[in-house]
Amino acid sequence: MKLNIAVLPGDGIGPEIMEQALRVTKLICQKFGHELITKTALVGAVAIDEVGNPYPDTTHDLCMNSDAVLFGAIGHPRFDNDPSAKVRPEQGLLAMRKKLGLYANIRPVIVFDSLLDKSPLKLDRIQGVDFVAIRELTGGIYFGQPQGRSENGDTAFDSCVYTRMEVERILELAFQFAMKRNKRLTVVDKANVLATSRLWRQIAKEMEPKFPEVTVDYMFVDNAAMQIIQWPKKFDVMVTENMFGDILTDEASVISGSMGLLPSASIGIHTSVFEPIHGSYPQAAGLNIANPCATILSAAMMFEYAFSLMEEGALIRKAVEASIVAGAVTEDLADDKSKALSTSAVGDWIIEYLSK
């Protein structure tokens, strides 16, 4: 099979972790006889510096003409600390989601048995955790209009907007995921306060009869935030709106013990994007200390979701888990910091395992 991949390393640690994910991707393609074609493009702060646009047209054209996108990270402190900045790296990420029609972000939340002691939660709470969080990605308060500030700058406003079409398509996907798993779906909203949440709940209830085998649970977002920490094993498939999903999935990431372990897939109308859930971690940029596993696991999701190559994806996950069991980990997971491996050394270990 021919795999035509757009590579967007982005900012901060993005280039370092992307390098390791590409090494793994190339080896897997060689091992299974696939033809791999990769082209690299700018996104984020580096794109602003180069061309003044965090998501240039050339990058978008490459994404549209590719089978899948591997994405690293986005963001830089000089923009975070400047509230007056007119152009921001994150605008590139939002533009990419909107232009590619990436309406659903899929984040699996699992724990590795060898890392149970790394989680801040008690063992009995997290052993066996395995759920999927599905976040709506192109609607809600991040995209709603009007948005801005008053002329005197003393008042700011953001609009949260959802249409029936946007809600139906993400709920349809969530129900389908539930059917393929344990037939349990949790719809997270704030229907006691927000009109948009009441629309979500209304549509979900209308759709329930189409999926009679699925048990649907409705949960306010504040309660869901508590339940993820108290009883994470109760969840199977969770679906929610954009901002709630952004916050809850980052909260859920700590269950595994490190944000450096969780991948994600953003799927929709055009080319799908596969990326780690962590940020650009600018403090570590260029130091060769960042955990590459989430990006490598994102490549595994790419094989599975974009190309239906399940064996390839499973082998990558097996290699990552083997590296963790063997203690071949970066400083975020190492018991003894002096024995922590570098980003590239973890990549070397996984490559060696896959080469056997």
Active site residue 190: yes
Q: Is 229 in contact with 266 (CB distance < 8 Å)?
A: no
Chain centre distance of CA 316: 17
Under DSSP, is residue 13 helix (H, G, I), strand (E, B) or coil?
coil
Phi-psi region of 92 (alpha: psi -120 to 50; beta: other; left: phi over 0): alpha
Question: Among the options 103, 162, 189, 190, which is catalytic?
Answer: 190
Cβ neighbours of residue 16 closer than 8 Å, sequence gap 6 or more: 285, 286, 288, 290, 292, 343, 344
For residue 254, which amino acid is it? V
Active site residue 246: yes
Q: Would you state the structure tokens that stand for residue 87, as one six-digit string?
A: 């152009």
Alpha carbon distances (Å) from 67 to 169, 259, 264, 294 = 22, 27, 17, 21
- The sign of the CA dihedral 343, 346, 350, 353 is positive
Q: Can you spell out the DSSP letters for 182-250?
A: TSEEEEEE-TTT-HHHHHHHHHHHHHGGG-TTSEEEEEEHHHHHHHHHH-GGG-SEEEE-HHHHHHHHH
Active site residue 183: no
Q: Would you state the structure tokens that stand for residue 217, as one six-digit string?
A: 């649970």
Q: Is 110 in contact with 130 (CB distance < 8 Å)?
A: yes
Neighbours of 96 (CB within 10 A): 24
d(CA 329, CA 55): 33
Q: Can you spell out the DSSP letters for 105-155?
A: EEEEEE--GGGGGGSSS-HHHHTT-EEEEEEE-SSGGGT-SS-EE-TTSS-
d(CA 332, CA 246): 22
Under DSSP, is residue 61 helix (H, G, I), strand (E, B) or coil?
helix
Active site residue 61: no
Active site residue 158: no
Question: Among the options 142, 162, 189, 281, which is catalytic?
Answer: 142
For residue 7, which amino acid is it? V
Catalytic residue numbers read 142, 190, 222, 246, 250
